[in-house]
Amino acid sequence: MKKFLSLLLLAVVALFAVACSGEGGSEESTESESADSGEGSGGEESAESWEPSEPIEIVAPAGAGGGYDTTARMAMQTFSEEGIIEEDMGVTNKVGGGGAVGWSYIADQAGSNHHLFVTSPPFLLVPLNGQSEYNYEDFTPIANMIADYPAFAVAEDAEWNDLNELFEDMKEDPSSVTVVGTSSPGSMDHIAFAYVAKAAGVDITQIKYVSAQDGEGVTQILNGSADVFSTGIAETAEQARAGNMRVLGVTSEERLEGETLGQFPTVQEQGIDAELVNWRGFFGPPDMDQAAVDYYVEKFEELSNSEGFADVRAQFGWNEMYMAPEEYQEYLDAQNEEFQSILDELGLGQAE
């Protein structure tokens, strides 16, 4: 009888051990499945249901009040007002290097899913002329959002009534006209004017371009120290409304809408075959989780289609120009080649 009870006790202990082993295996399996099912390279959320878990920082790689800053803040404001993104968002201005300081800051956030930055053609031009170690291929494209346009303005009492009159004088002596812009030589304002002048038959290597990065471009036009202001359409509209400047041409395909903007002639309607878009869009750091990229792409498309952002575009004279990552990448590849060609012609391209 004692032997029987001993065997029975051993059997019960063995069954209990097997049961415990099974429960432990189940826990390990659950933990393993959890680890495999969700965390991307950033290790933040499930790849199938990523959402921001901390405030999102949007970097404007320039000072307050400019095109980068305005685009970032209007996007942030509309995201909130339309209820598209509920997580807190903030705009940080990173000034310097024509945008290079901001790009360097974002490069240091590699793998983060909570950092974005707004950018435009200088994102291509500045690296091409050797002023930044980073270029567009180093970051994660999210979405292009708007089309802004360069404009060329002169003082209200200037001798030129249209671009053809201006370029006729410049064909005879390109350096007789001083062009001022807020970007550095080889960046947006310089290249925009050179691009259109080349199409009109001007020797662009002889253009006298001066940079007023301190924001004194308007002052130089009004006091006569410069002749032509190459800038964004928004920067000319206020001066035109006040009767201080006359806009000779805008690089949009068609005239823009609005009581003031609609009065500005396009470059093309003056017989000059040139169209140039100052696109603006958003990128993320290198190595973002694909689930986070997908999240932002969806949200920016919703933003672009919203009534709130349509009102923003109308307010600032922007056109809709939404592009998702693949299309955006192809567009940038093509424009990068075009900018390389004109920089080489100006002698401003980076040596291979």
CA–CA dist 270, 163 (Å, integer) = 7
In a domain, 352, yes or no: no
- Same domain membership, residue 160 and residue 265: yes
**Residue 5 confidence (pLDDT):** 39
- Same domain membership, residue 266 and residue 156: yes
Q: Structural domain of residue 127, as residue ranges? A: 56-147+278-346
When comparing pLDDT for 25 and 58, which is higher? Answer: 58
pLDDT in tens, 271-285: 999 999 999 999 999
**Residue 48 confidence (pLDDT):** 61
Cβ–Cβ under 8 Å, residues 138 and 100: no
- Same domain membership, residue 296 and residue 258: no
- Same domain membership, residue 87 and residue 160: no
181 in helix, strand or coil? strand
**Residue 278 confidence (pLDDT):** 95
φ, ψ (nearest 5 deg) of residue 338: -65, -45
**Residue 258 confidence (pLDDT):** 87
Cβ–Cβ under 8 Å, residues 186 and 344: no
Q: Model pTM? A: 0.81
Cβ–Cβ under 8 Å, residues 266 and 249: yes
Return the closest-CA partner of residue 181 out of 226, 224, 222.
Answer: 226
Which two tokens mark 313? 């575009």
Categorize the per-residue pLDDT at 222 as very low, low, confident or very high, splitting at 50, 70 and 90.
very high
What proportion of the chain, given as a percentage, has pLDDT over 70? Answer: 86
Residue burial 312-342, b: 16+ Cβ < 10 Å; e: rest? bbeebbbbebbbebeebeebbeebbeebbeb
CA–CA dist 277, 274 (Å, integer) = 10
In a domain, 6, yes or no: no
Task: Give the pLDDT mean for 201-224.
Answer: 92
Which residues contact residue 129 at a Cβ distance below 8 angstroms, ignoring those fewer than 6 apart? 186, 187, 343, 348, 349, 350
pLDDT at 104 over 80: yes
pLDDT in tens, 63-81: 888 889 999 999 999 999 9
pLDDT in tens, 292-340: 999 999 999 999 999 999 999 998 889 999 999 999 999 999 999 999 9
pLDDT at 240 over 60: yes
Residue finishing a domain among 217, 247, 270 = 270
- Same domain membership, residue 248 and residue 174: yes
pLDDT at 267 over 50: yes
Residue finishing a domain among 270, 286, 306 = 270
Categorize the per-residue pLDDT at 41 as very low, low, confident or very high, splitting at 50, 70 and 90.
very low
Residue owning tokens 């030129």: 160
